[in-house]
Chain A
């Protein structure tokens, strides 16, 4: 099946630092979504992107839909301890086969050192 390459797999940062993670694919997507998952809970949607080049913010989070439609990044500014968790990217293929499914990256595990 389709795969998204999400990096980094894990990161340790100091509180207050900025964070950047990204996802790339060999396929074109028409939607990019970013989720955060806390331990023992389901993924929670952070940001949704629908247009190539789109830059969207949600508080300290900023995400962009790559111009090529094959990548996306998520930035977190001034990290705080509650940012700890696993962040997933997900993409929906350009309409066609599998267009009703989301493909997920394997996640970036973020640890914040106070």
Chain B
């Protein structure tokens, strides 16, 4: 157990509404990541963080923002959700050895 939890685990929302997903870790790791997983695309990096208030974009960052105000929490926000953002979102933390450990995922449906 890598001590990583995601919330909510499931959410249904309407187009145009804001959505925030939370990733919480208990092990004080520096690097945290948000991925989305879609059929045919595998896991794609949205944003990542390399420390408090330090974040950077991944390959599919458009339409998403992140914040990391404290080490243990990494928030992913969809300012105005669209149907194309229906997906399963995974948070991950990186150990010093380079290995990523994933949360259980947050399934988001945008109607």
The chain A residues found within 8 Å of chain B, CB to CB, are 1, 30-31, 33, 35, 40-45, 48, 50, 88, 90, 92, 100-102, 104-107
B43 x A88 contact (CB < 8 A):
yes
> What are 19 sample pairs from A and B whose C-beta atoms fall under 8 A apart?
A31-B98, A33-B98, A33-B99, A35-B102, A41-B104, A41-B105, A42-B103, A42-B104, A45-B99, A45-B100, A48-B97, A100-B31, A100-B94, A101-B33, A101-B48, A104-B43, A104-B44, A105-B42, A106-B40
- By the criterion CB–CB under 8 Å, are B101 and A45 in contact? yes
Please name all residues of chain A whose beta carbon is closer than 8 Å to the beta carbon of B50 when the two chains form the complex: 100
Q: Does B90 contact A42, Cβ atoms closer than 8 Å?
A: yes
Total number of residue pairs linking A and B with CB closer than 8 Å: 49
Number of residues from B at the complex interface, CB < 8 A: 23
The residue from B40, B58, B99, B105 contacting A101, defined by CB atoms under 8 A apart: B58
Apart from A48-B97, A100-B31, what are 7 other A-B pairs with CB-CB below 8 Å?
A31-B98, A43-B90, A48-B98, A101-B48, A101-B58, A104-B43, A106-B40
